[in-house]
Structure 1
Amino acid sequence: MGACICKNKANQCHADGHAHGASSNSQSRTGRAEAQTIPHVNRSHQPSGQGHRRVTGSSSSRRESQRNVDSLVLETLSLIRTLVDNEQEPPQAMVQLQKVAEKETGWLEVVRSLILSIPLDNPLGPAVITLLLDECPLPTKEAISELHRNLGLSCRGPCDEYKSVCCQRNICVMVGCLAEKLAGPNSVSLLSKELLGYLVHNLDKSCAEVVVLHSIVALEKFSQTSENKVTINKSLQSKEPNPLVVLEEWWKDPSQLRWEVGFCARWCLDNLFLAEGRTYSYENEDLSAINVMLNSNDVSEYLKISADGLEARCDASSFESVRCTFQVDRGVWYYEVTIITAGVMQIGWATKNSHFLNHEGYGIGDDEFSLAYDGCRQLIWYHAESKPHLHPCWKPGDTLGLLLDLDKQQLVFSLNGDCLPPFHQLFTYTRSGFFAAASFMSYQQCAFNFGSKPFKFPPKDVEFKSFNDHGNLTAEEKIILPRYKKLDFIKNILVKEDSCTLCFDNPANIVLLPCQHMGFCQKCALQLETCPICRKHIKERKQVPVDLECSNLEDEAPS
């Protein structure tokens, strides 16, 4: 399975009785671009409710233990990039870290090491923090209290030991990950007055951009718990001006980090932290020249799409994917992508037969109906298998060019105008119905150009077409609604009685087993790892006649 490392933590929790999935709001998932090749590891966590075991020791032994943990963290970081075969065993360093974290003092050592050891310039750093914390047991309340004391957070920042920009970036990533894992009352406890003050204080243009960025993302993840969302909103609204309103001006700034900050601030203002008197982004966008964009109706669950429909970002710990709105069946076509972050993204071409399984970690290039370029790990992905390419690692600001020649049945990728040899594998199973498509690991972002503006590195000596010159969207189809407004819209439209309860489009012909709940189409059912009704793990998805009454099965469903 090509790109990443993503495993179903909830399933392991139910099977083993470990304290690993906090609640139905928890997103205890790991982006497949980092962890796909790491299978489940047998762990001996304390049963739920027992927590960690407290251990003591001399200061010298604790220092030696901390050095060992630091070494294991750095070893894991260095190896993650090389894990591309799904049959590979997880790094021993990662297995050892999981064992260390079974004890309360060990968990605190791992967190301390993640803050101090993960370097600022490694594009996989934030995702590895998320991965390692996701693999560790949930902390106890005592461990959270001790963490607060150790960090010494206030609106003036952390204690002196963690004052560096790198440490503060890592702190923000760490608390955001914990907010996802804990959810509910535990997430409320984690968001102390001091931590909230610290994160909101970081939303200032005078702070380091990378700290601003991950403070916004951390606040977003805390807001998954409704009580936290209210608290954060009150804090933001008490500021004049609202710091997110100031920061959204950075969107599309020449500095890639500021660009990220602006995108995230804008998205939060549209979807989570509404500012009084501010209009939604989609109401201000001039889309008259845009005829093709990313398809907000053909996207996996947690991917963020900009109001102009040409930019996407993933901050979830799953592998999120999207296709564009325009299908090509013949001729020669070209589009470009501006790389905003340097981590793992798989960008290329896919057909309608290519499935997005974000929770399982399947994306573009992970089946026989799609092929993708990975510039971080320098790989080409097809059918969940990878082959190295000769381009250097991409970096923020680079331009990826993607040429599809349906006449010659070949794909050509270029980086800043430097072309790779053609690829032909994708035409083994399909010859038409292609879409521009991409998948994103945690904290990754890029911008698409389908021809609404001049290309930076157009193919030489090749006559090609751009999507934008041939696409057509109505004014309504161009609107990228905030998520909650989209849900309200869906609730109010007339749908057939047998329609899927998630997409309201396809027929609800799938029953989830073993819980036997119905109301989902095949496409949506494949996106689920747990039943939305009872939260039980899905072991099988079975097709049934659409006229089968849901109630008949639900009456028989186990409690």
Structure 2
Amino acid sequence: MFSGAVRLFFVSAMNGLHYTLFLRLPRWLHGRAPPPALRSGVGSEDGINSAGLSTVTDKYVLDTLAVIRTLVDNDQEPPPSMLKLHTIADKEAGWLVVVRSMVQVIPLHDPLGPAVITLLLDDCPLPSKETVVHLCKFFELSEESAQESWKDPQLHRNICVVLGCIAEKLAGPASIALLTDTTLEYLVAHLNVDNHPCVILFALIALEKFAQTSENKTSIGQYMGQGLCNPLRTLEQWMSDNDYVRRQVGFCAQWCLDNLFICEGRPYSYENVDTTHLNAMLNNNDVSEYLKISPDGLQARCDASSFESVRCTFQVDSGVWYYEATIITAGVMQIGWATKDSKFLNHEGYGIGDDEFSVAYDGCRQLFWHNAQSESHLHPSWQPGDVLGSLLDLTNAEVIFYLNGDPLPPLTQVFNNATCGFFAAASFMSFQQCEFNFGKKPFMHPPKDIAFQSFNDHAYLKESEKIILPRHIKLQKLRAMSVEEGACTLCFDERATISLMPCLHRGFCERCALQLEICPMCRRDIEERREVDEKSDGKSEIT
């Protein structure tokens, strides 16, 4: 669980911030003395001077980062450090102290650092357009400082995270105002192979967030250039690098070239993928909206502030099955098994392991998840390069997880509600990524003394089903499709046979209807779903 365990506390801690932010401050990010606004009115109520406020804020930020891994229960009280940050951030200048602190003290190598910045900023008020204009001055951005990011990669990584978070929250004129020439030069200057790969990664993600506004997208594309001079063309070659941070850069560079910053003359990545003997992959049609899937269908990454989920293409109903996931990032992911009845509630933060039809392994917080309840396990926290193995034994009704070949005791709870129809599945917190192996290549740590089957040996995919199209091409094809009369208004694939109760709105197939919690037409809660008999107009209740 992500929302109940983490987001709820950030929402409660930051709730009530109602001011408009004004960043009309001199530059003081690099340890300079705080401006007059911070020397008065902030902390004085508690008898803390500005220097002391900065010191204690640093401590609260680090304490919050440390306690994130323990936030797993909705009934837990918010940690004291978060309540203190709420008090400080309740004033304009105090909010700036919190932002400065996050930029300066969140460590470069903590796997949850960027996600904590995102969570803290996500529930703050949107800055005004005037505020946005002064932001790059506040951060002392310049192309020259970007070229020296190796001297302080932690600082520049965190600045890029903050810029990306704010760009994601903004839209239209405010986002355009933030992407000044200075900001654009600063971010693009980081896309140099000689810079620290972690800074390159988050500068690239920030540019992606800015490109959500079409005018910014055009400006960024023109500035980076066409052909081989585009820095992303070099960075995408890191896709298979042995360094896992560089591999993330390669993934994001390739995704941006396919989906955002199109280079004339460059083939799309899916056109060069060898799909020979590829019989099982992540299902690009059974995925929450912001998850990125690689062109070969075997890697997934989330750079959104939501909790994104995906199932694979192959369903198993009997026997013993095994797959592996190589950990690219060491943050919060919930990887395991789910049936088609499991729901992806990405904005609410519920994913695999958060309902009665799924079970998941969380190697960051060292937990199992089932039905939104957690149970600790004895594996160490996973690290980039670790291999998570997952075995589903439908004969003996148990699930076994392995980390680098080391098994944990079997889990059985999920079989109280589901006995067949399982898919390999996973959910991802912000900035997390892993690579799946469903048997196309040899497993790294196959279970010993247990006979199992792999998806790739038994599944089948049409050639058209192996193609992961860039989003804009997929959208064009959907627009060009002639939708069959009576098709589901959500997926356009199945017949619309379901009526939602009590509002009686129709137009959905059974699979899509089961994914809905509220009616998309009237927003009323769905109490039940009824199948409509087209011949007799009779209705019968379905599960």
| 1:377-412, Cα deviation, whole Å (9 max, x unpaired) | 000000100000000000000000111111111111
Kindly provide the amino acid, as one letter, of the partner of residue 287 in structure 2: V
- Which residue in the other structure is 2:37 paired with? 56
CA-CA distance at 1:95 after TM superposition:
3.1
Is 1:153 the counterpart of 2:114 in the alignment? no
Corresponding residue number in structure 1 for 2:405: 417
**Match in the other structure for 2:379:** 391
The change in CA–CA distance for 1:454 and 1:238 in structure 2 (over 3 A counts) is closer
Q: Give, in whole Å, the separation in 2 of the partners of 1:208 and 1:528.
A: 43
Give the 3 Å change call, closer, same or farther, for CA 531–217 of structure 1 in structure 2. farther
Determine if the alignment matches structure 1 residue 355 to structure 2 residue 355. no
2:15 matched residue in structure 1? 43
Structure 2 CA distance for aligned equivalents of residues 420 and 413 of structure 1: 6
State whether residues 517 and 525 of structure 2, in contact with CA within 8 Å, keep that contact through their aligned partners in structure 1. Answer: no
Report Cα offsets for 1:470-503 as digits up to 9, x if no partner. 1110100100111111111122222234434432
Counterpart of 2:327?
Answer: 339
Q: For the residues of structure 2 that align with 1:362 and 1:373, how far apart are their CA atoms? A: 14
The one-letter amino acid of 1:456's match is M
Q: How does 1:249-260 map to 2 (within 5 A)?
A: 249-260=237-248
Match of 2:348, as an amino acid?
A: E
**C-alpha offsets along residues 161-189 of structure 1, whole Å, 9 cap, x if unaligned?**
99510111111111000001122211111
The equivalent of 2:204 in structure 1 is 216
Please tell me whether residue 206 in structure 1 is matched to residue 191 in structure 2: no
Stretch of structure 1 that moved more, 488-497 or 421-430: 488-497
Contact 1:294/1:325 (CA < 8 Å) preserved in 2? Answer: yes
Q: Quote the residue 1:4 is aligned against.
A: 2
Aligned mate of 1:271, from 239, 259, 265: 259
Partner of 1:24: none
Aligned residue identity for 1:318: S
Q: CA deviation at 1:530?
A: 9.8
Q: Distance in 2 between matches of 1:525 and 1:157?
A: 52
Matched letter for residue 214 of structure 1: F
Once the two structures are superposed, the pairs formed by residues 139-538 of structure 1 within 5 Å of their partners are 139-157=127-145, 164-237=152-225, 241-506=229-494, 507=496, 538=523
Q: Tell me how many residue pairs correspond in the alignment.
A: 514
Q: Given the superposition, is the C-alpha separation of residues 521 and 223 from structure 1 closer, same or farther in structure 2, using an over 3 Å criterion?
A: farther
Deviation at 1:90, TM superposition (A): 2.4
1:540 and 2:533 matched:
no
Go from structure 1 to structure 2 and tell me whether the alpha carbon gap of 1:274 and 1:34 turns closer, same or farther (over 3 Å shift): farther
* Displacement of 1:205: 0.6
Q: Distance in 1 between matches of 2:528 and 2:518?
A: 17
Q: Is the 8 A contact 2:341 2:514 kept in 1?
A: no
* Aligned-partner SS, 2:49: helix
Residue pair 1:53, 1:103 contacting (<8 A) in 2 also = no
Output the TM-score relative to the length of structure 1: 0.85
Provide the secondary structure at the position in 1 that maps to 2:390. Answer: strand
**RMSD across aligned positions (CA):** 2.9
Q: CA deviation at 1:520?
A: 5.8
Structural mapping, 1:32-111, within 5 Å: 34-36=6-8, 40-41=12-13, 43-46=15-18, 51=21, 56=37, 58=39, 61-111=49-99
| Contact 1:34 1:127 (8 Å CA) reproduced | no
Gaps of 5+ in 1: 7-32, 548-559
Structure 2 distance, partners of 1:347, 1:151, is 38
The more displaced of 303-312 and 489-498 is: 489-498
Paired AA for residue 7 in structure 2: A
User: Once the two structures are aligned, what percentage of the paired residues are identical?
Assistant: 56
Cα shift at 1:240: 5.2
Cα gap change, 1:461 to 1:343, in 2 (>3 Å): same
In structure 2, distance between residues paired with 1:68 and 1:40: 21
- Which whole-Å CA distance do the structure 1 matches of 2:515 and 2:222 have between them? 34
1:78 and 1:331, CA in 2 relative to 1: closer, same or farther beyond 3 A? same
Say which SS state the counterpart of residue 337 (structure 1) adopts.
strand
**How far has the Cα of 1:332 moved from its partner?**
1.0
The Cα shift of 1:525 comes to 7.1
Tell me, what secondary structure is at the counterpart of 2:17?
coil
Q: Distance in 2 between matches of 1:239 and 1:154?
A: 26
Cα drift, residue 543 of structure 1: 6.6
Q: Deviations over 1:104-156 (max 9, x none)?
A: 21221111111001111211000000000112222234543443223211111
In the alignment, structure 1 residue 116 sits paired with structure 2 residue 104: yes
Residues 436 and 75 of structure 1: CA distance in aligned 2, closer, same or farther (over 3 Å)? same
Q: Give TM-score, length-normalised by structure 2.
A: 0.88
User: Which consecutive unaligned segments of at least 5 residues does structure 2 have?
Assistant: 25-35, 41-47, 533-543
User: Contact conserved, 1:104 with 1:139, CA < 8 A, in 2?
Assistant: no
Distance apart, 1:88 and its partner CA: 1.7
Give the distance between the partners of 2:517 and 2:314, measured in 1 at CA: 29
Name the amino acid aligned to 1:147. L
Letter in 2 for 1:134: D
Q: Note the C-alpha offset of 1:157.
A: 1.9
Q: Could you tell me whether the CA contact under 8 Å between 1:36 and 1:361 is conserved in 2?
A: no
The whole-number CA distance in structure 2 between the counterparts of 1:510 and 1:118 is 50
Q: Secondary structure at the match of 2:144?
A: coil
For 1:520 and 1:52, locate their aligned partners in 2 and report how far apart those are by CA, in whole Å: 47
Report the secondary structure of 1:477's partner residue: helix
CA shift, 1:354, in A, is 0.9
Tell me if the contact between 2:335 and 2:352 (Cα under 8 Å) persists in the aligned partners: yes
